[in-house]
Amino acid sequence: MFSIGTLRIDTPFILAPLAGYSDLAFRLQCREYGASLCFSEMISCHGLHFRQKNTLDLVRTVESERPVAMQLFGSEPDLMGEAAGILSEHPIDLIDINMGCPAKKVIKKGAGCYLMKLPALAAKIIRAVVQNSKVPVTVKFRSGWNHQSIIACDFAKMAEDNGAAAITVHARTWSDGFSGTADWRLISQVKQSVFIPVIGNGDVQSHGDGLRMLAETGCDGVMIGRGALGAPWIFSADAPENPSLAFRLAALNRHLALIAKYQPDTPPSQIKNHAGRYFKGVPGGAEIRRQIFNQTSYFGLKKLISSLS
């Protein structure tokens, strides 16, 4: 249990902002399995400025998922500040600033992890967001740009000095992408560098991994990203370590029900991206995934899943 500003976090397990995945239905499911806080996928400050429908759809939330965090990305302090003000008018509990995304399309805009190369600009962005936000502000970043510039501790102090209420550290560099092994030692070093809460991120593939990260690094929270895809039960200490096919099908059926209730217009391609991941490592999983990706509608997918039960 810890607090981010005035926001109380009851358990240390948190869902990461995952582009294309951390939508309302998936966040709700992760909350049901015990995630204490869920982050939206990244939201463009430009999209908010122009009130674009696709962007505003990402901000949609419901009372039952609170507390909920929305993640902003951009590279212009004024626009980021304006976007924080817009987000603050919605029923949310926290705004996170993306300074860790390694995607080329984000880097080309001078946003995401590129801001670790420009700490003075990053500081201006953090100040602008904090000044315009009505909720606590956090910053998510990486170890550094590459292994010749590991600056996470200094970057963490800068974020704290400019008003961040907590930080999340993905213990890889931009040059690492998602390859190699996350260096949890860095999370421990960052924790010792600041007074605000530190959330660790990287290589948490099971609930046990999360507990180990807490013990080894002393971090306050554990953010789980890819490890939660197709396995939202990772947030539960009571879930089986190797879930049966029946367990996975029940979880997927619940996910599909949440989509039908809250996001009935979700494109089949997006639903299939989620659904296929439930069968990773399952005997016959490759064939199940093939059948899933052959479906062209929600109802076809639902019928297929029912036939597997």
The residues annotated with a catalytic role in the active site are 101
Tell me the H-state helices in 170-267: 184-191, 207-217, 245-262
Of the candidates 25, 23, 79, 33, the one whose C-alpha atom is nearest the C-alpha of residue 54 is 23
| Burial group, residue 173, by CB count within 10 angstroms (0-12, 13-18, 19+) | buried
* Partner residues linked to 142 by β-bridges: 170
Round to whole Å and give the CA distance between 243 and 247.
Answer: 6
Round to whole Å and give the CA distance between 169 and 223.
Answer: 9
Kind and range of the H or E run holding 125: helix 119-132
The CB-side HSE value for 169 (13 A sphere, CA atoms) comes to: 34
Hey, which bits of 94-152 come out as E strands?
94-99, 137-142
**Could you tell me the two tokens for 185?**
């030692």
| Cis preceding-peptide flag for 67 (omega within 30 of 0) | yes
Of the candidates 204, 223, 203, the one whose C-alpha atom is nearest the C-alpha of residue 16 is 223
Of the candidates 118, 62, 58, 8, the one whose C-alpha atom is nearest the C-alpha of residue 258 is 62
**For the chain, what is the radius of gyration of the CA atoms?**
19
